Structure 1
Amino acid sequence: MWLWLWLVLHICLTRADPPDPGLETFLKDANQQLAVIYDQAVLAQLLHELRGPNDLVALLDIEVTDNKLVKYVRTLSTRKAKFRRLGLGDDLQRRQLSKLPLLGYEALPDRDLRRVYELASNMSDNYRNVKLCAYKQPDNCTLRLIPEVQSIVQGSRDLDEIEYYWFEWRRRTGLATRYQFVAFMDLYKKTAKLNGYPRAEDYWFRSLELGAQEAMTLLDHIMHGLRPLFLQFHAHVRGSLRKMHGLGLVPRDRPFPQHLAEVFIGNAFRRVQPEWYVDLPAPQFGLSNITQELHRRGLTTTQRVFWNVAEFFRGVGLPLLESSLWEYAQPVSTDDDDRCWHKAWRYYALPRTNFTYCPLNDEERFFNMFEAQSDLHFYRAASAQPTLLREEPFPNFSDAVGKFFSLAASSPGYLHKMGLLRDGQWKGLPARLNRLYIQGLRVVFLLPVFYVLDRYRVEVLSGHIKGDDNEAYWRFTEHFTGSAAPSKRSNQQFDVPAKLLMEVDDQYASQFLSIVLQFQLFNHFCTKTGQFERGNPKMPLDLCDLSDQRSIGKDLQRALSLGSSVHYRKVLQELVGEPEISVDGLLAYFQPLNDWLEKENEKNNLDVGWK
């Protein structure tokens, strides 16, 4: 008797909830309507991409489609709340319901709404359009940060000039927007509550589907794992800066000067000569010049690069792209190198994808082609999902997959197959260390900066610090990035907006996680294909070559086809066999560099850490 009752109770408790017909009708209509509006938005953005940032017709089209989306989302809000309150539907229906767009700022009263958009626009315009006066030329106030000021400081050996631009940029973009930043963060808190988030810091991480405490615990865990490598690398860079600028400017046991470190690290993103780095691991081996080799190999047109990269994806078991995709591809303007990139475009109601390309042919655009084609494969894999579930599991997830493929393409083994590395020394440790050193400058020093920018704003949103607590910002900066201002900064100044490369409300956590995830993916697939063995110096991760490993495609397509139908942890479990983002892959990739840094720092008596 008791056994029978237990079985009945067990069946009742474990039986899946049935789909609800009313909710099904509501979701079907929402998916269809949103698909049409999203397609209109994609077409408007495509027009903007092709015609340039100042085309009024394209800008007007974007505004019209944005307004159309807001109006439609407003019509959904009441019924969405009703279905959620009643708890109707099966798991898939409830998942779609949770993915309906929020009103966001549009939930604010009209006066606050106008104010929040005005503040965001003013801060964005100030960052992008502010002009600085040239050093010792007060009548020449025409310099933009990118590219003019950036080019000047990265090529300058005049320390007074570098320091001048550091202070001037922060005065014009940080202090000038201080009160706007504080007002914006207050309105952000109000927005969070109106969207159903009593704690504004939870609203900040809503796209990760994690509460603030859980998200920060994850970020802290990754930072803790990164710390030993970061400290060794920091000590070595500080030693190089000391050689370049002297003990007076770069003292022992202290954070390095941020204005000098920004130039040193920033040059890793430019094609500088190897001799610029005073302590490159093996200067006699130099650095590979992929741009030069592309031209030598005859890969001088974007079309040739496109099909060579498409063949790489076919080799890892993903479908070969159809010829019509390139036939209808359109070039973008080359007027601004920083805006000239390859890009995939996906539609929701229309059964197609588009491709735009940058006609420039250099190293950056070569690896960018892997990222753009990766997006194409993601869009197509997720296209079977309803509109509401076709997005990434979290923002920049697709970017992580694309960066994983560009990381795989940067493998010396693959580049050698392509004829882009010719000498026989590319497998040797000295040449590898040079490459890892430059890659490390781009990755290892970037993560703490991203962490600080989100940590600061989360502390503001949670009420732990004031919105313009500049001293708190520098405490975070010194502790996590090991850098300090040229002279002590106080609450009389305000420097946070000067470092926000994106919009004021864009979170860096998803970019932070995306960078870490690309190495986790590389670690997983290199281990699975038997090309990496932890602890075996004869099978290091940085020499893994995934080209022609056809088993990869099946695993990737299965995971990517999930879209956002499940939490990102379930996607990761399917993709890499573990449910959380881990820094282990990044550490394994840079292990040879870490070993070298430890030996060099000890040999040269370089101080590790700071007081």
Structure 2
Amino acid sequence: MIPRIIICHLALVCFLIYCDKILAKDANIEEEEYEARNFLILLNRQSERDANRLAIAQWAYASNLTDENLQAQLAIASEVAKNEKEAWQRVTQFNWQRFSDYNLRRQFQKYSVLGTSALPEEKFKQLNKIISDMETIYSKAKICPKDSKDGKECNLSLEPDLTQILAVSRDAEELKHTWLKWRDAIGPKCRGLYKDYVELSNEAARLNDFTDNSQYWLHDYEDPNFKTAVFNLWEQLKPLYLQIHAYVRTKLREKYGDIVSEKGPIPAHLLGNMWAQTWNNVAEFMLPYPDVRDHNLTAILIEKNYTATEIFKTSEAFFKSINLTAMPETFWNNSILEKPANRELICHASAWDFYDGKDFRIKQCTEVTDEQFITAHHEMGHIEYFLQYKDQPFQFREGANDGFHEAIGDLIALSVNSNKHLKKIGLLPNEKDDPKGVLNNLFKLGLSKITFLPFGYLMDLWRWDIFSGKTTSEDYNCKWWELREKYQGVEPPVDRSEEDFDPAGKYHIVADVPYLRYFISFVLQYQFHRSLCEKAGQYEPNNVEKQLHECDIYENTVAGNLLKQMLEMGSSKPWPDALEVLTGQRTMDATGILDFFKPLSKWLEEENKKNNAFIGWERSKKVCTRTRQELLENSPSSSTSTVSEGPSTTEST
């Protein structure tokens, strides 16, 4: 038996040895953290310089589509990729997962994901060239007008020509022609490129230890169950969508006759938008109260001599009124707010951060319309986000998640769309609102917001299945239309084949831009709006005098300061933390949309019951085949199986 004193002595010795090891280990970690901080200072400076150089080159090409600018952009992108790869190799040598400093650990975690720069140099160049080539095909595409007999007339571009035709024409044949020729001009040229793009994107994702590119796209949401969370949001919103879909189909059938079936999907070319993603352009012949005088905001803007610059100045004034930041002088000097006449450019509206804390720009081929008026607020929302987090470390200069970034301008636009706001800034006469006119306005907004939801969801469902290999290149187009029918209840104007590649007719597909952010933003903007309106004292759930759709936070600094607090965080914390700052909630919640559109939802349900409208849709009779020859050889399917039954049921999955 060992004496107790010896046992105690041995225990003390072991304890002291253990403590020495722990202290030595902690000292090593502290020393590594000190070294990491110094390294990070240099890395952030290098990242800022590289991001600035690349943004300048990308802007030069996007605003002037020449081969010289393309080559310059690709060369700089390749140089930046080399620097990123070298930095990444150094980052992986640190034991950053054990750092005690949260901000330090989070920055290293973000630097530890390299992205497409992980590709070998030649493949990196190839991937960037493919994306640029698809963007160029899209941006330079021109088509002929219907009944054109002279090739000289074949100069109609998407902005503003084709967009305008889809918005205002009520000639079904002209709409079909425009819809088809736009896709013919892009899809077949991009199909092979897209297959190569998928392969290289997946290779880059695997080099970053993701299974495929869909997992890479989703990783920034920092939630392994994020797909399920988004699906649940869609399930919350689907009943409202089905109601507005049924009502619109009824009205389109009254307008166009049998080319719109009573129970089938809606022909996509009749919905006033090239992609049938928003339907507000067809509101004029389906308003709840058509005899109530409607204020035409486009006509008012033109009558008041608004220019593109004046539209953006009006947007800036809103942000300033809630204690956010005025645009720097560089914004007005360097932005492109109207389409230049002397060169080809990417007209798709975009906001740019040049990562020097001073240079922020918008590129938009602005037309003086109500839609572009709202788009200006959306893009300036991005700029405001840039301005608020510009002093954060480099890796935190982004939205809490990408849906946050898209939501900010749209959040402001919810106030801008209100009659209350338009009266304040002199765009509407200062008279009492007619409740019927208010419902008309809510309906028009619903045709922009509610109808977008399934499109915003399915765009990446389609790409996730492609990246994962579930959908092969032999089924790109048919899978696209399967999802368009399943979630949106729309169909193409004619049968399609795999020789077509209709997804390429949408910019975000060819430009490698994830789209789930827009669906998320449509949920968040209403969640944000409800919270800010409550803080501003303008919304109470059971108060008919303070309804959510009539709230305007213009000039309310209480709401503005709360918004500013969230924007300043950038991505320094996980997005639920940022959401909690603004709303007190840590999960996304679709009830904000449902609360906003509650009066419209009630009206739609009553109207659809009165009209005995079919809720949901039967399967489309349009077919999609492997080749166009098969379309000629086989008659269209006559299947009448349904995805919904009866006037009161919902679409099944």
1:530 maps to 2:554 = no
Q: Which runs of 5+ in 2 are unaligned?
A: 1-14, 619-653
Q: Which of 456, 461, 464 is the aligned partner of 2:462?
A: 456
Checking the alignment, whether the CA contact within 8 Å between 1:174 and 1:498 is kept in structure 2 is yes
Is 1:97 matched with 2:108? yes
What's the secondary structure of 1:545's corresponding residue?
coil
Question: CA offsets per residue over residues 96-138 of structure 1, 9 Å max, x none?
Answer: 1122274433333455445434433343333333343443446
Deviates more, 1:218-227 or 1:284-293: 284-293
Tell me: higher relative CO, structure 1 or 2? Use CA pairs within 8 A at least 6 residues apart: 1
Aligned counterpart for 1:261 among listed residues 271, 276, 280: 271
The normalised TM-score by structure 2 is 0.79
Alpha carbons 2:539, 2:551 under 8 Å: kept = yes
Three-state SS of the structure 2 residue aligned to 1:189 is helix
The CA deviation at 1:500 is 4.8
Q: Secondary structure at the match of 1:205?
A: helix
Q: Which residue of 1 aligns with 2:260?
A: 250
Letter in 1 for 2:47: L
For structure 1, which segment, 102-111 or 280-289, has the greater mean C-alpha deviation from structure 2 after superposition?
A: 102-111
Match of residue 475 from structure 1: 482
> Is the contact made by 2:139 and 2:347 (CA closer than 8 Å) also made in structure 1?
no
Matched ranges for 1:54-93 at <5 A: 54=65, 62-84=73-95, 87-88=98-99, 90-93=101-104
Q: Does residue 548 of structure 2 align to residue 561 of structure 1?
A: no
Residue pair 2:508, 2:514 contacting (<8 A) in 1 also = no
Answer yes or no: is 1:580 the counterpart of 2:587.
yes
Question: Is 1:73–1:101's contact at 8 Å kept on the other side of the alignment?
Answer: no
Query: Are residue 437 (structure 1) and residue 443 (structure 2) matched?
Result: yes
Given candidates 146, 160, 173, the residue that maps to 1:160 is 173
Q: Distance in 1 between matches of 2:500 and 2:362?
A: 43
One-letter amino acid matched to 2:442: L
Match of 1:591 among 562, 587, 598: 598
Out of 155, 179, 182, which is 2:195 matched to?
182
1:439-471 CA deviation, whole Å, 9 max, x = no partner? 111222222112222101111222322234233
Partner of residue 609, structure 1 = 616
Give distance in 2, aligned partners of 1:116 and 1:357.
24
Q: CA deviation at 1:245?
A: 1.4
1:125 aligns with 2:147: no
Q: 1:382: which partner in 2? A: 389
1:213-232 superposed matches below 5 A: 214-232=225-243
The separation in 2 between residues aligned to 1:138 and 1:240, in whole angstroms, is: 34
Corresponding residue number in structure 1 for 2:629: none
Given candidates 400, 409, 421, the residue that maps to 2:407 is 400
Letter in 1 for 2:91: K
8 Å contact kept, 2:459–2:516: no
Give 2:39's match in structure 1, choosing from 26, 33, 38. 26
CA–CA separation in structure 1 for the residues paired with 2:132 and 2:333: 32
- Distance (whole Å) between structure 2 residues aligned to residue 365 and residue 168 of structure 1: 25
Secondary structure in structure 2 of the residue aligned to 1:383:
coil
Q: Are residues 329 and 291 of structure 1, via their aligned partners in 2, closer, same or farther at CA, if it must alter by over 3 Å? A: farther
Distance of 1:157 and 1:372 partners within structure 2? 30
Q: Are the structure 2 counterparts of residues 406 and 242 from structure 1 closer, same or farther at C-alpha, using a change threshold of 3 Å?
A: same
Alignment of 1:465 with 2:471, yes or no, is yes
2 CA distance for matches of 1:311 and 1:208?
32
Displacement after TM superposition at 1:502 (Å): 4.5
Which amino acid letter does the alignment assign opposite residue 121 of structure 1? Answer: S
State the match for 1:234 in structure 2. Answer: 245
Aligned residue for 2:631? none
Aligned AA (1:529): A
Distance verdict in 2 for CA 1:287–1:463, change over 3 Å: same
Contact preservation (8 Å) 1:468, 1:494: no
Q: Residues 453 and 500 of structure 1 are in contact (CA less than 8 Å); yes or no, is this contact kept in structure 2? A: no
SS at match of 1:560: helix
RMSD (Å) for aligned C-alpha atoms: 3.7
Q: Amino acid of the residue matched to residue 232 of structure 1?
A: Q
Match of 2:10 in 1: none
1:185-224 counterparts in 2 under 5 A?
185-211=198-224, 214-224=225-235
Once the two structures are superposed, residues 199-239 of structure 1 have per-residue CA deviations (whole angstroms, 9 ceiling, x without a partner) of 4421132343344xx23212211211111110010001100
Q: Distance in 1 between matches of 2:391 and 2:604?
A: 48
Q: Deviations over 1:341-361 (max 9, x none)?
A: 998765544x53556698976
Residue 418 of structure 1 corresponds to: 425
Partner deviation per Cα, 1:259-301 (whole Å, 9 max, x = no partner): 223559969788x6x9x7322112223432335545666x756
List gaps (5 residues or longer) in structure 1.
none
Q: 1:70/1:152 Cα in 2 relative to 1: closer, same or farther (>3 Å)?
A: same
Once residues 561 and 606 of structure 1 are traced to their aligned partners in structure 2, the CA distance between those partners, rounded to angstroms, is: 48
Aligned pairs, number: 588
Distance 1:196 1:395 in 2: 22
* Between 361-370 and 172-181, the greater mean CA deviation after superposition: 361-370
Q: Letter of the aligned partner of 2:572 in structure 1?
A: S
Greater mean alpha carbon deviation, residues 121-130 or residues 457-466: 121-130
Following the alignment from structure 2 to structure 1, what is the Cα–Cα distance between the partners of residues 301 and 129?
Answer: 46
**Does structure 2 retain, via aligned residues, the 8 Å contact 1:329–1:354?**
no
Aligned-partner Cα distance in 2 for 1:58–1:192 = 28
**Distance in 2 between the 1:559 and 1:448 partners?**
28
Shift of 1:401: 1.2
* Residues 535 and 559 in structure 2, CA contact (< 8 A), matched pair in contact too: no
Q: Which TM-score applies when normalising by structure 1?
A: 0.84
CA contact 1:342–1:365 (8 Å) conserved in 2: no
- Describe the SS at the equivalent of 2:94: helix
